[in-house]
Amino acid sequence: METRRTLLVDAFADEPLAGNVAGVVPNAAGLSDDQMQRIAAELGASETAFLLGSDEADERLRYFTPATEVDLCGHATIAAYGALFEEGAIDAGDRTLRTNVGDLDVTVDDDGTVWMGQNPPSVERIEADELDADRLGDALGIDPAALRDVGADLPVAVATTGLPWLVVPVNFLERLGEADPDSAAIEAVCAAHDAVGIYAYTFDALDPESTLHGRAFAPAVGVQEDPVTGTASGAVGAYLQEVGAFDGDFPDELRFEQGHFINRPGHVRVRVAGDEVRVGGDAVTSLDGDLRVPAADRDDDIIEA
């Protein structure tokens, strides 16, 4: 039985056991889809990145949750490149990454910060007659008044730079912290608007250096609450630019904090300039080992329900 080196890497964190943990398989060549899915389920991280060779780009990554393959995952990308740089497998500089949503640019700074380019953004506002505060409040377990207070100036919208997220503003951190999400209701709302999950945010952040505090819920892909979410952060950065969230010039760099309510604090750096969106962060390897992997054609006698 073969073994594959597998890592657990904490992305958007500068110390282990913080931020958002991702599985990373540095050499996934030859693994079947079923093997990759089962490895992701065994590791149990919200996403696992599988590194493959590519003739068209420097690297190819595929991403699996414990339940299904997803087209893109920001924190697993940061984790994968952070781990490769940490062990000297790649140097600082620019690289091209092939994903299921196309080719993306990745830059690794000399200090190990990984920057991930995003697809050109799209932001579609959702009117109240399509999705009102009562339905959103019930889905999130947040008093609808906390959504109405900011709804006049900051709309609910579906924003994407690769994966579509339903972006929901909340008035105060205390209200966001009280969220008690109804997974079935969130799935229904997201399905109605072709979104992978809900990213609820408030400008009432814990750290004065942070732009906002966010929480992300994506039960449809097996993630009840994501600690720190790269793809959502890129989408929200584009959203903030589109809705004119700041007086005067748009900031050169945004800092999003997330994960504190589930004891996985982390921070995402976001840069937005027109259609160019980049998401950046640090990564720390917390576990490095070998996983025994059954053959791809093994008859495992699993009975399908």
Active site residues: 47
Residue 179: CA count within 13 A, CB half-sphere: 31
CA distances from 36 to 1, 11, 25, 43, 51 (A): 15, 20, 9, 11, 11
Eight-class DSSP state of 302: P
Closest CA to 269 of 257, 283, 284, 254: 254
Query: Which amino acid belongs to residue 105?
Result: D
In this structure, what token pair is assigned to residue 94?
């620019």
CA distance 187 to 195: 9
Q: Are 47 and 76 in contact (CB under 8 A)?
A: yes
